[in-house]
Amino acid sequence: MLGSKIVIKTKDEIEQMRLACRDSALVLDYIAPFVKAGVTTEYLDTLMLRYIEDELGDISACLGYNPGGGTPYPKATCISVNHQICHGIPDGKILKNGDILNIDVTVIRNGFHGDTSRMFMVGNCSIAAKHLVNVTFDAMWKGIEVVRPGAHIGDIGHVIQHFAEPKGCSIVREFCGHGIGRGFHEEPQVCHYGKMGTGEVMKPGMIFTIEPMINAGRKELRILPNGWTAVTKDRSLSAQWEHTVLVTETGYEVLTMSPGCPPAPDWIKTP
């Protein structure tokens, strides 16, 4: 899908995206009480798949996803623990006290994709882990805050990079946010580093994800033999938060908010 023209959503398509994005966020609301020491990531994935299919009546966009003709993704969600950056495949790994993990959910509702992810902390986490999780959350909102008609896609990456790097963190370069709608991954690509005034100009009706992946150590990564999971090369912790955002006539609307979603930081002004 990447490489095609940016799709400006119609009013009806935007409403369908609101519903799909709401559902993806509700999956994370549902799973939150189950994230604790002693459970496996595969158990969490199984619960979420049941919720997606049986309670919401949706489809997991991840299960069987195979964009490049390689090995299809084998699970319903991505659960990335500690030094896993993204695309962690749920398995028999047992969560333990002090772990941090990202759960990334994409559902398909009536042909439209809703995509969001959150960080979870298991038990008592280190000060360094909490710092990374909080910096990444605020970095995502720094990026969201600049979304408005007439701004450039590169503005998002610029503010994220210049917020996170002075706090001792590094930005993953190989993965980025993306347009989303009927397609899982559409244009534009939304890098989490860059320069102001570069990239496509934002227009009302554009919908894309902002999902910075930020490491406590160096930015370099490697891909595990499973062909999917990216991990930090120096085994430092990594964190990610993700929202799907609509460009409105006057600013932005975060489509993946829900009752259990962490609220925006106090310094965010209502668009």
Domains of the chain with bracketed CATH: 11-254 (3.90.230.10)
Residues 242/204, Cβ–Cβ less than 8 Å = no
- Taking only the tens place, the pLDDT of each residue in 142-176 is 999 999 999 999 999 999 999 999 999 999 999 99
- Give the pLDDT confidence score for residue 67 in this predicted structure: 86
- Give the pLDDT confidence score for residue 80 in this predicted structure: 98
Contact partners, residue 214, CB within 8 Å, separation at least 6: 132, 135, 136, 139, 164, 169, 170, 171, 172, 192, 238, 239, 240
Contact partners, residue 64, CB within 8 Å, separation at least 6: 72, 73, 74
Residues 197/153, Cβ–Cβ less than 8 Å = no
- Give the pLDDT confidence score for residue 269 in this predicted structure: 78
Q: Give the mean pLDDT of 246-266.
A: 97
- Taking only the tens place, the pLDDT of each residue in 52-105 is 999 999 999 999 999 878 899 999 999 999 999 999 999 999 999 999 999 999
Band of pLDDT at residue 264, cut at 50, 70 and 90: very high
- From the list 237, 222, 230, the residue with the least C-alpha distance to 134 is 237
Tokens representing 160 are: 């994220």
Q: Give the mean pLDDT of 5-18.
A: 97
- Give the pLDDT confidence score for residue 4 in this predicted structure: 59
Band of pLDDT at residue 31, cut at 50, 70 and 90: very high
- Give the pLDDT confidence score for residue 271 in this predicted structure: 58
